[in-house]
Amino acid sequence: MAPRKKTTSKTTAIRASSARGKKPVSKKSTGSHSAKPFRLTWVKTLIILCVFALCGAIWQSLFRPLSVAATGTMLQIKSGQTYSGLIGYLAQRDMIHFPFILKIYRNIFIHNTLKAGVYEIPAGINASKLLRLLNDGKLAQLNRVLLVEGMTFNQFKQRLAAHPDIKQTVLNLSDAQILAAAGIPKAYPEGWFAPDTYMFSTGVSDISVLKQVYEKQEQILGQEWKGRAADLPYRSINDALTMASIVEKETGSDGERAKVAAVFVNRLKQGMRLQTDPTVIYGMGAQYNGNITRKDLETPTAYNTYKIDGLPPTPIAMPGRAAIHAALHPANIDAVYFVATGTGGHKFSRTLEEHNAAVQSYLQVMRSKRNGS
Question: Other CB atoms closer than 10 Å to residue 265's CB: what's the count?
Answer: 23
| Per-residue pLDDT at 198 | 85
User: What b/e string do you get for 113-126 counting C-beta neighbours within 10 Å, with b at 16 or more?
Assistant: ebbebbbbbeeebb
- Sorted by sequence, the CB contacts under 8 Å of residue 116 that are 6+ apart come out as 77, 78, 79, 80, 81, 140, 142
Domain boundaries, the chain: 73-136, 231-371
User: 37 falls in which pLDDT band (50, 70, 90)?
Assistant: low
Q: Which residues pair with 198 in a beta bridge?
A: 145
The predicted-structure confidence for 328-344, as pLDDT tens digits, reads as follows 999 999 999 999 988 88
Cα–Cα distance, 190 to 68 (Å, whole number)? 30
The mean pLDDT value for 157-169 works out to 92
Q: What is the pLDDT, as a whole number, of residue 158?
A: 94
Express each pLDDT in 89-104 by its tens digit.
888 877 778 888 888 8
What percent of the chain stands above pLDDT 70? 85
Across the range 288-302, mean pLDDT stands at 93
10 Å Cβ neighbour count for 257?
A: 26
List the single range of 228-232, 280-284, 360-364 with lowest mean pLDDT: 360-364
Q: How far apart are CA 192 and CA 215, in angstroms?
A: 9
Cα–Cα distance, 259 to 349 (Å, whole number): 11
Per-residue pLDDT at 281: 96
- Which among 159, 157, 170, 113 is positioned nearest to 136, based on CA atoms? 113
Supply the DSSP string of 89-106, one letter for each residue: HHHHTTSSS-HHHHHHHH
The predicted-structure confidence for 176-213, as pLDDT tens digits, reads as follows: 999 999 999 999 999 999 999 887 777 889 999 999 99
Average pLDDT, the chain: 84
Task: Decide which of 169 and 6 is more confident.
Answer: 169
Mean local confidence (pLDDT), 156-168: 92
pLDDT (0 to 100) of residue 40: 65
37-41, 84-88, 150-154 — which is least confidently predicted?
37-41
Using the CB atoms, write b or e for 333-364: b if 16+ within 10 Å.
eebbbbbbebeeebbbbeeeeebeebeeebee
Dist CA 131 CA 109 (whole Å): 9
Q: What is the mean pLDDT of residues 140-146?
A: 73
- At 39 the pLDDT is 64
pLDDT beyond 90 at 14: no
pLDDT category of residue 82 using cuts at 50, 70 and 90: confident
Do residues 340 and 256 make contact, with C-beta atoms less than 8 angstroms apart?
A: no
244: nearest Cα among 322, 342, 333: 322
What CATH architecture does domain 73-136 belong to?
2-Layer Sandwich (3.30)
pLDDT greater than 50 at residue 164: yes
| pLDDT-derived band at 36, boundaries 50, 70, 90 | low
The pLDDT assigned to 373 comes to 60
Query: Which of 13-17, 47-51, 203-207, 353-357 is modeled with the greatest confidence?
Result: 353-357
The answer to whether residues 286 and 214 touch, using CB atoms and an 8 Å cutoff, is: no
Residue closest to 202 by CA, chosen among 148, 136, 139, 131: 139
Q: How confident is the model at residue 121 (pLDDT cuts 50, 70, 90)?
A: confident
Q: Say what the pTM is.
A: 0.67
What is the longest distance spanned by two Cα atoms in the chain?
161
Amino acid identity, position 41: T
pLDDT for residue 28? 46
- Least confident residue range of 39-43, 182-186, 234-238, 299-303: 39-43
The pLDDT of residue 12 is 46
Cα separation, 113 vs 84, in Å, equals 11
* pLDDT reported for residue 130: 82
Cβ neighbours of residue 317 under 8 Å, at least 6 residues apart? Answer: 149, 150, 151, 152, 190, 191, 245, 248, 249, 278, 282
User: What number is the average pLDDT over the span 221-228?
Assistant: 95
* pLDDT at residue 172 tops 90: yes
Closest of 221, 251, 231, 235 to residue 324, by C-alpha: 221
Per-residue pLDDT, averaged over 166-178, amounts to: 94
> Is residue 103 within 8 Å of residue 87, measured between CB atoms?
yes
